[in-house]
Amino acid sequence: MIIGDATRHLPPEVETRYPEVPWAKMRGMRNVLVHEYPWTSPRTLWDTATMNLPPRLPALERILAKTHPNSKK
């Protein structure tokens, strides 16, 4: 949920500059968790956390380093 919430506060130019990141899907997953959590499949949550998110982490870390150079991991 935190990642989805954070994407809602990104300047539009960040999303435009990094189209390889599925920003809308991340926001969508947040919305599913917040509004439909009782009906969300545990398998969907597990797959997102273990299969979908890890390949995105290097790109997200690079973006964070470029947009917020003084932030810590």
* 42-68: average pLDDT: 91
Other Cβ atoms closer than 10 A to 40 = 14
Which residue among 8, 9, 27, 30 is the active-site one?
A: 30
Which residue among 8, 17, 27, 35 is the active-site one?
A: 35
Residue 55: which pLDDT band, with cuts at 50, 70 and 90?
A: very high
Q: Is 27 a catalytic site residue?
A: no
Q: What are phi and psi of 32, to 5 degrees?
A: -60, -45
Mean pLDDT of the chain: 88
Residue 51's pLDDT is 94
Domain contains 7: yes
Whole-angstrom distance, CA of residue 25 vs CA of residue 31: 10
**Domain that includes residue 61, residue range:** 2-67
Whole-angstrom distance, CA of residue 54 vs CA of residue 48: 9
pLDDT at 42 over 70: yes
pLDDT at 73 over 70: no
**8 Å CB contact between 34 and 1:** yes
Domain count for the chain, please give it: 1
Domain contains 73: no
Residue 36's pLDDT is 77
Q: Is 30 a catalytic site residue?
A: yes
Domain contains 72: no
